[in-house]
Amino acid sequence: MKFTSLNKKNHFDNLKKEEFCIASKGLKVFVKENGTTSSRLGISISSKHANAVNRNKFKRRTREAVRSLSDNKNLDILVVGNKDSSNLTSSEILKIFKSHPLL
């Protein structure tokens, strides 16, 4: 799945209001269909939960997992991580993504 960056505060807030949230192993995934021509991805993990190296590893693993999803819909995906989710592998993240009803 190709995606662009989801970086506006109001986009993050709109996704967090959605009922389509799944939480597992410290990872929260918000997914909503959008009206644009491409999918958008936002990744958030606090500096309180992990240092810079672990945050960047988490972001790379999350992007890798999203790329392996099928690209039949245009979606907004917001991934919020915490201390427990910063050590997940990309295959574990992918399993959590696939358990979401829209993915």
Domains contained in the chain, CATH given: 3-98 (3.30.230.10)
- For residues 39 and 14, give the distance between their C-alpha atoms in angstroms, rounded to a whole number: 15
pLDDT band at 7 (very low <50, low <70, confident <90, very high): confident
Q: What is the pLDDT of residue 42?
A: 92
For the stretch 46-68, pLDDT in tens is: 888 889 999 999 999 999 998 88
Helices and strands (H, E) in the chain, number of each type: 3, 5
Please check the confidence at residue 18 and state whether its pLDDT lies above 70: no
Q: What is the pLDDT of residue 1?
A: 65
Mean pLDDT of 26-46: 89
Which pair of tokens denotes residue 43?
């990744």
Higher pLDDT, 61 or 34: 61
Report the b/e string of 38-52 with b at 16+ CB within 10 A: ebbbbbebeeebbee
For the stretch 67-79, pLDDT in tens is: 888 777 888 899 9
